[in-house]
Chains A and B, each alone.
Chain A
Amino acid sequence: MAGVVPYLGLLVKGALITLEVSALALVCALVIGVVVGIVATSRFRAAQAAARVYVELVRSIPLLVQLFFAYYGLPLMFKVNFTPYQAATAALALYGGAYMVEAVRSGIQSVGRNQWEAARALGIGYWHTMTYVVAPQAIRVTLPAAAGIFISLLKGSSVASIIGFVELLQTAVNIRNTIFSLSPLLVAGILYFLMCYGLSRFGSRVERRFRYGGAS
């Protein structure tokens, strides 16, 4: 058990890499989610359909397969090369993006139609309404969901170890192969737990703050 102590620093570094990759993917997922989410709530049927297909695809294929596709498949198609870090970030961003689309869509739809009509009566255009009226209220619904997505990305980043990306889980496995006890995996589990549980508490606190007696 004590054999893991000299490796604790490595494990913490691995946890930081996990956080970094997940945060980067979350930001990209946010961008994707906002863009596709706005498209999905637009009036164009084709756009709605395309958004729906994207979400269905990502939710019907295992993350590992999406990751393999990003690391092995896309380079052959576009003749570019991805490092494991880039492929992991891309796959996680697309994965989180699909869930973000749902979160953004429900956020936008949580703003009642009467607000849209009132804005139109006041002569405020679509984009201004979106930016100054809808977005601040949509964040109330979207932000707690984003915390949940961040947790999924943190857990999902462990899958990137399979394409050779060295993050927390891979670090723990490497240490385990050297010292042959379960303790590195235990420590890694605790680190994951601290990161994710902390985030879920933060998410529920945000959600409580934003909830004040129902939608407007």
Chain B
Amino acid sequence: MTCDRVKDRLSGYLDDDLQADDSRAVRLHLDVCGACASRWDALRASVQVLRDLPRLVPPESLAPGILSRLEVEGRGPGLALLFRPAWNARPLILPSLFPAALVFVAALGAAVTLEAVPRFVKGNGWAWLGAESLPPVAEVSAPRSRDAVLADDFMPPGEASLFFETQVAQDGRVAEVTLLDGEVADAGRVFNALLRERFEPALYRGRPVKTSVYRLISRLDVHAPET
């Protein structure tokens, strides 16, 4: 018998669990092979230390604690759940998800009803359009100024160029004016005039929507080239 075959049979040999022929062959091999005999000795010794391990015992009897817990469980499921260890309580997460899911669906439904409805947007298919959603620009009418401000009247003398964004709210009031480009020192009076401006709000499918108007106000002194 080869060393490899002996090695595979040592555990069975230890348990006296081999066929008689195999057992005899292993015994003969161990008599003549020092490496396998050494392995066999180490195996026997390691198993023996396990067999010699002292039996550990609990510091005190477990029975009183177990019986009192069983008594608690017998009183009703509520208290028993408190005494469950965390890993046994994990299955409870699943049933608790159902009310959570119901609340989530109800909240989602309310949000959809109040703030947004699914609409078919041309070219984009169905989309959720809520208060924060932007409709396609092509389908929004431009806001019209009710009292056209002659911004040039408020421009400072000399060359100046100012670029403004005016945010028009759904009721036509100016919500915000932002100077996007130009000198702040030149913009003061124009800025105040633009804030007082009133608009017919922009419309999207008949509903007034919030929009922005961008305007470049410029005064350039043009001089004929000297000849």
* A and B pair up: no
